[in-house]
Amino acid sequence: MTVQNKRVSILPDMTIPVLICDDSSFARKQMARALPENWDVSLSYAQNGVEAMDILRQGAAEVLFLDLNMPEMDGYEVLETVRKEDLNTMVIVVSGDIQQEAHKKVISLGAMDFIKKPVHKEEIHNILNEYGILQLSDKKLEIQDEEKVDNFDFFQELANVSMGRGIDLLSKLLDVYIPMPIPKVSHVEISDLCMTLKEVDHNDELTPICQGFIGTGIAGEVLLLFNKVKNEDVAALMNYSGEQNDVVALELLMDIASVLSGACLNGLTEQLDLAFSLGSPRVLGQHVKMDDLLQNKESNRWTKTLAIEMGFEVEKSELQCNLIMLFTEDSLLKLNHLVEYLN
């Protein structure tokens, strides 16, 4: 028996208890704001699966908006437990991992629907309507504002969604499922970057590819570090059957790189409503010696800035990749401004 079959009906004029479960305070806020304004519901929040299960077991949530990638207990585990314990709730998954596989998996685990982050008001409205749970009242839905979202939390969510876009497109390109990593957002100093670059220089197994991007007020560079690239692996992944050599493999790798960074940037565009132009990708250290590059760095154009980092592996191959998105120091101004605006 699936969960949605158990829902008989909601009595008219009954306030529906709704639970939003997401580890990001920014995402919880965004979700709450996307709900229809006159929807007759009472809202509660959970920061992870464990908290959500407590509330669900008390029967205090008829509708659950559920994130997938969370610490403690993730969305998949929540779905499994809900099913096992036969709890009466309607689950709508709201996810940054938008790969087909993730979608299929949550539906098979009993979720009613699957919404891509970032959520849009209209989409939520349509889904609620479709399932007949949109009870409107005269009251305006009151969102008790949680704590103010801090900048870091906002960047984290920005990163989750953007990287989710990148992973999804890459999985489509290569036709494989890529386990969604949780991107790491951090402030980096110039010395951190220099250390990374030095490491790249000393490690023959790394192929570094760089691609610059720029939009109004926000710019930076995406650095992709491919580890242990084997020509035949890349050719097989890209379904390439022609002659194999280093140049061809590098070109294929560049294709992979620009799809990845292009998709990540599209994710940013969607969330920030800002279009980016993307430069042509280039292999780092091929023409400019890393030492010279480092020396220029040390002559110091910036000191501290924002970085998003994510490492992932491609199934059925040994290909590993680390993606680092580095913003310019100037971009921080605009990014911080955006947080204020969205708060």
Partner 1 sequence: MEDVGKIDVHDLHWMMDMIQSIDVGLVVLDADYNVQVWNGFMENHSGNNSAQVLGNNLFKLFPYIPKDWFERKVNSVFLLKSQSFSNWEHRPYLFKFKNYRPITGSTEHMYQNVTFIPLITTSGEITQIGIMIYDVTDTAVNRMELEKANKQLERLSRTDRLTNLNNRGYWEECLENEYQRCARTKRHSSLLMFDIDHFKKVNDTYGHQAGDEVIRVVSKTLLDTIRATDIAGRYGGEEFAVLLIDTDQEGALLVAERLRKAIEATVVTYEDTEIRFTISLGIAEYNDNIESHTAWLEQSDKALYQSKESGRNNSTIYK
* 10 is an interface residue for partner 1 by CB under 8 A: no
Q: Is the Cβ–Cβ distance between 225 and 322 less than 8 Å?
A: yes
* 281 is an interface residue for partner 1 by CB under 8 A: yes
Comparing CB distances to partner 1, the nearer of 239 and 296 is 239
- What's the rounded Cα separation, in Å, for the pair 98 and 95? 6
Number of residues this chain uses to bind partner 1 (CB under 8 A): 22
- ∠ CA 230-324-293 to the nearest 5 degrees? 85
* 215 is an interface residue for partner 1 by CB under 8 A: no
User: Of 58-66, 94-102, 156-164, 279-287, which segment contacts partner 1 by CB under 8 A?
Assistant: 279-287
Q: Which of 7, 83, 125, 282 binds partner 1 (CB under 8 A)?
A: 282
CB of 62 to partner 1, least distance (A): 34
Comparing CB distances to partner 1, the nearer of 239 and 343 is 239
Residue at 289: amino acid letter = K
CB of 78 to partner 1, least distance (A): 31
Comparing CB distances to partner 1, the nearer of 202 and 287 is 287
Comparing CB distances to partner 1, the nearer of 138 and 175 is 175
Q: Could you give phi then psi for residue 2, rounded to 5 degrees?
A: -90, 165
Reading the block at residue 162, the tokens are 């953007």
Give Dmax over CA atoms of the chain in angstroms.
Answer: 71
CB of 149 to partner 1, least distance (A): 26
Q: Which of 58, 280, 299, 300 binds partner 1 (CB under 8 A)?
A: 280
Residue whose token pair is 């806020």: 29
Residues from 157 through 186 that contact partner 1 (CB under 8 A) = 169, 172-173
Residues from 223 through 262 that contact partner 1 (CB under 8 A) = 238, 240, 242, 247-248, 250-251, 254-255, 258-259, 262
Q: How distant, in Å, are the alpha carbons of 18, 92, 115, 159 from that of 107?
A: 20, 10, 11, 25
**Where does this chain bind partner 1 (CB under 8 A)?**
169, 172-173, 238, 240, 242, 247-248, 250-251, 254-255, 258-259, 262-263, 266, 278, 280-282, 287
